[in-house]
Amino acid sequence: MPREPFDVGLVVESLSILDEQGRADESLDPKLPADVLRRMHRAMVLTRKLDERMIMMQRQGQMGTFAPNRGQEAIQIGSVLPLRKDDWYSPSYRSFGAQLWRGWAIDQLLLLWAGYFEGFALPDGVNEMPMSIVIGSHVPVAVGLGMAIHYRGGDQVVLVNFGDGASSEGDVSESLNFAAVYKAPVIFLCENNQYAISTPFERQTGVKTLAQRGVGFGIPSLRVDGNDVLAMAAASREAVDRARSHKGPTFIEAVTYRMEMHTTADDPKVYRSDDEVRQWERKDPIARFEKYLKARKVLDDRDIAAVSDEIEEELRLARDRFSARAVQRPREVFDFHYETLPPDLAEQKAEYLAKLDRCGA
Ligand SMILES: Cc1ncc(C[n+]2csc(CCOP(=O)(O)OP(=O)(O)O)c2C)c(N)n1
Ligand SMILES: [Mg+2]
């Protein structure tokens, strides 16, 4: 049989607007209004400072294990910027910058990551799915949500984010296929931060870009500099518009780097070099954005220092509110798993409570 030329459509577009010095490509700059740029900057700095504070609190025993966001702030803020309040966000566990933008209170996020039951309640009026720790498991659910909107004739969209590691899960492939066929109004945001715990990108997949995955399923796909908040905002805007006008899903591969440990239970020095980390520091999303903002005269050094001070104060107050609510209740350990405890657990509970009584707890 003669071999036919076959267009596999593997040309993946790549988008970046800011260079490493924070200089914008004029033809691509979305020229967002100054007040929006200031809010984006503030949200990114808040995310970074909350991360730093939470790591300190975790080291002092006041916070549970959590997944730091440092380096991924531009993805989070840029991707949710074009969402309307009634759109849906289905986050992974490394997304608290976006969650704050969507309406979470800082002290509630602290309660959540300190393991308090009440921290997990979704805030009123925030259209968000419970975040997923089981890798990739939330992606089919996000597509189902998109299909429900589609069947009801709504025009909301669903943004779901997941990692490079999650992209290897069958759940994600099935979701991409289904969404492509049925034109689900979903934005698949794959945060390629180069690692799935200690597994580097080269060991994760045989493809050079994860955006190819989307193309393979027939989904318009784009590779974006994930440390460039303007590029993230522009890509997300396009994807949101496509989903809202019933043209179906978009796949965005946001290329970034996880600057911190996987979670506070991890030591990345065991599997990657300081030199590699330093290379990525040069692409820091906040530093680049600040250079851009200064060049556009949206902020100057004094404004940036003032934002930093304000956020420190906001975090201090949030930590105080959290501390007032974070009262340990060891007697509740068995309470939220079953409506009726199975007999063996009921026995363990009785034994445990008797022990607490003996210790006076
Ligand atoms: C189904 C499943 N398998 C394994 C794990 C353990 N696990 C937790 S995070 C993680 C790595 C995920 O990496 P990636 O998807 O790249 O996201 P990142 O943590 O880098 O944001 C793994 C394997 C899990 N939580 N769920
Ligand atoms: Mg990853």
Per-domain residue ranges for the chain? 13-328, 335-361
Residue 334's contacts (CB-CB under 8 Å, 6 or more residues apart) are 341, 345, 348, 349, 352
Cα 181 to ligand 2 centre (Å): 27
Cα 57 to ligand 1 centre (Å): 23
**In this structure, which residues have their CB less than 5 angstroms from ion ligand 2?**
163-164, 193, 196
pLDDT at residue 337, rounded to an integer: 84
- Asked whether the CA dihedral 65, 136, 41, 100 is positive or negative, the reply is negative
CA-wise closest residue to 258 among 319, 311, 209, 196: 196
Q: d(Cα 256, Cα 125) in Å, to the nearest integer? A: 31
The fold adopted by the segment(s) 13-328 is Rossmann fold (3.40.50)
Q: Which ligand is nearest to the CA of 75?
A: 1
Q: Whose CA is nearest to atom 19 of ligand 1?
A: 196
The preferred substitution site among 135, 194, 201, 205 for testing ligand 1, maximizing ligand atoms within 8 Å of CB, is 135
Cα 349 to ligand 2 centre (Å): 38
Q: Are 66 and 95 in contact (CB under 8 A)?
A: no
Q: d(Cα 114, Cα 99) in Å, to the nearest integer? A: 16
Q: What is the pLDDT along the chain (361 residues), one digit of tens a residue?
A: 556 555 544 567 889 999 999 999 999 999 999 999 999 999 999 999 999 999 999 999 999 999 999 999 999 999 999 999 999 999 999 999 999 999 999 999 999 999 998 899 999 999 999 988 999 999 999 999 999 999 999 999 999 999 999 999 999 999 999 999 999 999 999 999 999 999 999 999 999 999 999 999 999 999 999 999 999 999 999 999 999 999 999 999 999 999 999 999 999 999 999 999 999 999 999 999 999 999 999 999 999 999 999 999 999 999 999 999 999 888 988 988 899 999 999 999 999 999 999 988 7
pLDDT at residue 58, rounded to an integer: 97
Candidates 53, 138, 213, 262; catalytic one: 262
Cα 252 to ligand 2 centre (Å): 14
* 196 Cα nearest atom in ligand 1: 13
271 belongs to the catalytic site: yes
* 162 Cα nearest atom in ligand 1: 15
214 Cβ inside 6 Å of ligand 1: no
Residue 172's contacts (CB-CB under 8 Å, 6 or more residues apart) are 136, 139, 162, 166
Q: Whose CA is nearest to atom 20 of ligand 1?
A: 196
* 135 Cα nearest atom in ligand 1: 26
* 193 Cα nearest atom in ligand 1: 20
* 87-108 tens-digit pLDDT: 999 999 999 999 999 999 999 9
* Paired tokens of 191: 């945060």
pLDDT at residue 301, rounded to an integer: 98
140 Cβ inside 6 Å of ligand 1: no
